[in-house]
């Protein structure tokens, strides 16, 4: 065995003298250090949220925003002198928008990371096996149909989008299944096929109902203009449990990065884990898409950015992706509503425009293989 050099001795400390390793060195060796990073990420997220609450097409001074927010606490009333329109804007329009954008960003990034892990493919994003195309078809079908948008107090478009997304994934999954095994490459192919069918059907509907083209296109390109607090309850019941499940499997996802045979030989029930995690991720993505439309780029790029910054260990990659994804989408939405004021720009355009250069920059900083 080669003797340790001084650098290694410094790194391994007492280990170099073959003594039991202290806890801190263990963490350093494993590169985990999750809590400081998480704190940093949450700080960035909070900053982004506050910025987005304070800025908008309607210029409301920052201290007014602070007073309005604080007045929500029981017993506090600092905002009585402020115009009612400002209070309505901050609390009923901007804040739900920020919260929902953050939730959707976190979901898309988490699910993107999960898909990349399960498929062991750096090009995977949460729309890979059909959620986006199915949701788009569902939403378009309702928009162009003579049905009312709201039936009995329930809004139909998000419901149809949710159902469409899940149906597409279920179809892809059942098409790809061979006995009790679902080979990942086959699943990707099935997903691509289902997506193209759904996309062409959507295009067909749009062309044949051209007077609704504008509305369907706006939905498809994604946006948070119509955010309200009630929409939060459409998303949370799916996203929270799904996220909890996925986060629990962080360590197993690491093992899955070996090939499936090796993971199986290490005791992981690969097919069951794949089904569980893809199911959870698809459910959460469908819920997010139903409320925000199809916002691209976040699910693909944020996990890669986290990987470039902090490495491939999924135990930190998953939570950090959520935090950074939320911050990113909050800021993108801020741009979407201010860059062309008073008009709205679909947020999917902003994410594409801003995401690509940012990622290229990160890539140049760390030019080593990170997958």
Partner 1 sequence: MLEIRDLTVAYGELVALRQVSLSLGAGELLGVVGPNGSGKSTLIRAITRLVRPLGGGIQLDGKEVGRLSQRELARWAAVVPQNPYLPDAFTVLEVALMGRTPHLGLLQSEGRADLAVVRRALEQTDTWHLASRRMGELSGGERQRVVVARALAQETPLLLLDEPTAHLDMGHQAVVFDLVRQLCRREGKGVLAAIHDLSLAGQYCDRLVMLNEGRVVGEGEPQEVLSPRLLASVYGTRVSVFPHPLTGRPVVTPMSEAARSGLEARGSVGTLRS
Partner 2 sequence: MSSLVQRGLLLLALVGVLAAAVACEDGGGEPTPHAPPMGSAAEVSYPLTIVDTVGREVTIGAQPQRIASLSPAATEILFAIGAGDQVIAVDMFSNYPEEATTRQQLDAYEPNLEAIAGIGPDLVLLFYDPGELADSLERLGITTAVLGSVEETPESVEAVFDQIGLLGFMTDHLQEAGDLVAEMQDRVDAVEEALAGVEQGPRIFHEVDATLYTAAPDSFVGGLYKILKAQNIAAGADQPFPQLSQEVIIERDPEVIILADGAYGESPDTVKARPGWGNISAVRSDRIFVIDPDMVSRPGPRCVDALEALAEYLYPERLE
Least Å from the CB of residue 340 to partner 2: 7
93 binds, among partner 2, partner 1, none (CB under 5 to 8 A by kind): partner 2
For partner 1, the closer CB: 2 or 364: 2
Count CB neighbours of 211 within 10 A. Answer: 7
Q: Which two tokens stand for residue 239?
A: 């996203």
Check residue 369 for interaction with partner 1 (CB under 8 A): yes
CB of 72 to partner 2, least distance (A): 14
Give the C-alpha distances (Å, rounded to integers) separating 204 from 101, 216, 223, 320: 30, 12, 23, 40
Contact (Cβ atoms closer than 8 angstroms) between residue 135 and residue 294: yes
Among the listed ranges 190-198, 246-254, 290-298, 347-355, the one in contact with partner 1 (CB under 8 A) is: 246-254
Kindly write out the interface string for residues 330-359 of this chain, putting x where it contacts partner 2 by CB under 8 A and - elsewhere: -------x--xxxxx---------------
Taking residue 23's Cβ as centre, other Cβ atoms within 10 Å add up to: 7
Q: How far is the CB of 354 from partner 1 (least distance, A)?
A: 26
Question: Mask 167-206, x = binds partner 2 (CB under 8 A)?
Answer: ----------------------------------------
Instruction: Give the shortest CB-237-to-partner 1 separation in angstroms.
Output: 23
CB-based contacts of 371: which residues, under 8 Å, 6+ apart?
A: 122, 307, 312
Q: Are 119 and 324 in contact (CB under 8 A)?
A: no
Contact set for partner 2, span 39-98 (CB under 8 A):
56-58, 84-85, 88-89, 91-94, 96
- State the binding partner of 268 from partner 1, partner 2, none, CB within 5 to 8 A by kind: partner 1
- Diameter of the chain measured on Cα atoms: 78
26 interacts with, out of partner 2, partner 1, none, CB within 5 to 8 A per kind = partner 1
130 Rama sector, left if φ>0, alpha if ψ -120 to 50, beta otherwise: left
Six-digit token string for 193: 């096929």
> Cβ 223 to partner 2, closest distance in Å?
8
Distance between CA atoms of residues 172 and 177, nearest Å: 9
Touching partner 1, residues 5-44 (CB under 8 A): 8, 11-12, 15, 20-21, 23, 26, 29-31
Q: Are 141 and 331 in contact (CB under 8 A)?
A: no
Decide if residue 1 touches partner 1 (CB under 8 A): yes
Strand partners, 150: 155
One of 70, 217, 311, 358 touching partner 1 (CB under 8 A): 311
CA distance 85 to 58: 10
The radius of gyration computed from the CA coordinates of the chain, to the nearest angstrom, equals 23
How many Cβ atoms from other residues are within 10 Å of residue 17's Cβ?
9
Q: By CB under 8 A, name the binding residues for partner 1.
A: 1-2, 4, 8, 11-12, 15, 20-21, 23, 26, 29-31, 248-249, 251-252, 254-255, 257-259, 261-262, 264-269, 307, 311-313, 315, 368-371
């Amino acid at each position: 065995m080669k003797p340790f050099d001084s650098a290694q001795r410094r790194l391994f400390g007492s280990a170099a003298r073959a003594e039991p390793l202290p806890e801190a060195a263990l963490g350093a060796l494993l590169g985990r250090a999750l809590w400081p990073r998480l704190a940093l990420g949450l700080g960035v997220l909070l900053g982004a949220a506050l910025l987005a609450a304070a800025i908008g097409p309607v210029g409301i001074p920052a201290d007014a925003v602070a007073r309005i927010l604080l007045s929500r606490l029981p017993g506090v009333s600092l905002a009585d002198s402020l115009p009612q329109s400002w209070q309505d804007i901050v609390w009923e329009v901007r804040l739900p928008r920020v919260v929902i954008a953050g939730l959707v960003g976190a979901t898309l990034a988490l699910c993107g990371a999960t898909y990349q892990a399960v498929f062991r493919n750096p090009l995977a994003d949460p729309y890979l096996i059909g959620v986006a195309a199915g949701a788009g078809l569902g939403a378009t079908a309702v928009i162009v149909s003579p049905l009312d948008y709201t039936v009995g107090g329930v809004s139909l478009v998000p419901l149809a989008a949710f159902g469409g997304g899940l149906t597409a994934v279920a179809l892809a999954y059942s098409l790809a299944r061979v006995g009790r095994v679902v080979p990942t490459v086959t699943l990707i192919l099935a997903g691509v096929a289902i997506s193209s069918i759904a996309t062409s059907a959507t295009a067909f509907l749009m062309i044949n109902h051209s007077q609704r083209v504008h509305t369907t296109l706006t939905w498809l390109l994604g946006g948070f203009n119509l955010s309200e607090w009630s929409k939060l309850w459409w998303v949370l019941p799916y996203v929270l449990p799904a996220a909890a499940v996925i986060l629990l499997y962080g360590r197993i996802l690491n093992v899955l990065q070996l090939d499936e045979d090796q993971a199986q030989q290490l005791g992981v029930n690969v097919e069951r884990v794949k089904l569980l995690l893809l199911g959870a991720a698809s459910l959460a993505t469908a819920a997010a898409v139903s409320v925000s439309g199809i916002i691209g780029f976040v699910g693909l790029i944020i996990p890669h950015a986290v990987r470039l910054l902090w490495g491939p260990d999924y135990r930190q990659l998953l939570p950090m992706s959520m935090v950074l994804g939320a911050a990113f989408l909050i800021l993108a939405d801020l741009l979407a509503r201010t860059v062309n004021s008073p008009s709205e720009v679909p947020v999917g355009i902003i994410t594409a425009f801003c995401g690509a250069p940012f990622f290229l920059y990160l890539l140049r900083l760390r030019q080593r293989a990170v997958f």
